[in-house]
Amino acid sequence: MRLARRDEASIPSFSIADVSTSKPASSTSRGNATTTTTTSSSTATQTGSPTNSPLPQPFDTNLGNNFTSTCPQFFNSFLKNSTFQNCVPFSLLLQTSQAFFQASKSLVRITQVLDASCDVSFNTCNSIMSDLAVQLKDPNNCGTDFTNNNPIVLQAYDGFIAYQPMFQAACQKDKKGTYCFADAITNTSSAADSYPYYLPLNIELPGGARPTCDTCLQETMSIFANAASNASQPISNTYKDAAQQINIGCGPDFVNSTISVRTGGASAMDGMVAFAPIITLFVALFTLLF
C-alpha cells in the first residue's frame, strides 16, 4: 500500500460545529485495507436479514496516540459532527471502519449501508470532504502529522479527496438492481472483485488479482479512469497498472489503460481568470484611442 500527499483546490468553508456524538460500532483493531478486503470477501454471505444496527462511521476503532497535540482534536471534531456523519462517506468507510467491514459480510446489511451512503446530497457532502482535506493540512490541525506521513492522517486525507469517484462507484447498480460493490464484496467465489474499489485510496491492485470481467468492473474502471487523469487524485498513482493487469485477464481493450494525467492543476477557467486583466486593459486602451 502506498500513501501519498496530494494537493486540492479550496472550496467554500465547512465549519466543524453542530456536534452530536455517535456511538462507535466496535473497538476491534484492523489490519491493512488489502488484507481486510480479502477476508471480508472470502467470508461474506449472500443472505441476511434487515437490522436496525447504527450506520458505520469512519475511524470507529481507537485512533491511538501517534499524533501531535492538535490532530486528535480535529479528528474528534469532524467525526462527531452530525453533518459529516450524515454523509456516510464510502471513501472513508472502506478502509477505516470496523463496522463497515462487518456489514460487508451480509448482502442485506451492506446494501442498507450503501443506500444510506448514496441517498445524500452529493454536492453538499463533496464540499464537506474537500474542505476537510484543506483543514486537515492546517498546522493548527494535522498539518505536521500530514507532513510526517502519519498513516491515519493520510488515510483520512485520501478518503476526503477521493469522495467523488468512490461515491460514483459505490452507487452503481447492475441490471438486477444490486449495487455493484455489494455484489463484489459478497462474492465468495472471487475475492478479487472488491479490490478495484481500493484504487482511489492509493492502494494498488494486488499482483495476480483477476476481478470478474463484467459490466460492473468496466463501468467502475471508467469512473476511475476519469478521476485518474487528475494528478491531484491518489488514483492517478494506481490506475494505469491496475487497468493493464485487468486487461491481461479480460482482453486488451476491456478497460482504458492509456489515460493522460493532467499535471499542474490549472484549469481552463484559471487561465481565463489570469488573462482577464490583460483583456480589460486592452479594452480600455481601445476605447481611449478610438
- Domain range annotation of the chain: 33-265
Kindly state the average pLDDT of the residues 185-189.
Answer: 93
Q: How far apart are the first and last CA of the chain?
A: 64
Kindly state the average pLDDT of the residues 173-198.
Answer: 96
Kindly state the average pLDDT of the residues 190-209.
Answer: 96
Q: Is the pLDDT of residue 221 over 60?
A: yes
Q: Which residue has the higher pLDDT, 68 or 219?
A: 219
Q: Is the pLDDT of residue 31 over 50?
A: no
Lowest model confidence (mean pLDDT) among 61-70, 186-195, 223-232: 61-70
| Tens-place pLDDT, residues 141-172 | 999 999 999 999 999 999 999 999 999 999 99
What are the beta bridge partners of residue 262?
A: 230
Q: Is the pLDDT of residue 256 over 60?
A: yes
CA of 32: how far to CAs of 39, 97, 101, in Å?
Answer: 11, 12, 12
> Residue written as cell 459478497?
186
**Nearest-10 Cα torsion for 252, 173, 37, 164:** 90
Share of the chain above pLDDT 90, in %: 67
| Tens-place pLDDT, residues 83-120 | 999 999 999 999 999 999 999 999 999 999 999 999 99
Cα(267)–Cα(75) distance, rounded to whole angstroms? 31
Q: Is the pLDDT of residue 139 over 50?
A: yes
The alpha carbon dihedral of 100, 128, 167, 222 has a sign of negative
Cα(240)–Cα(238) distance, rounded to whole angstroms? 6
Kindly report the pTM of this predicted structure: 0.75
Q: How many CB atoms lie within 10 A of CB 268?
A: 7
- Predicted confidence band at 52 (pLDDT cuts at 50, 70, 90)? low
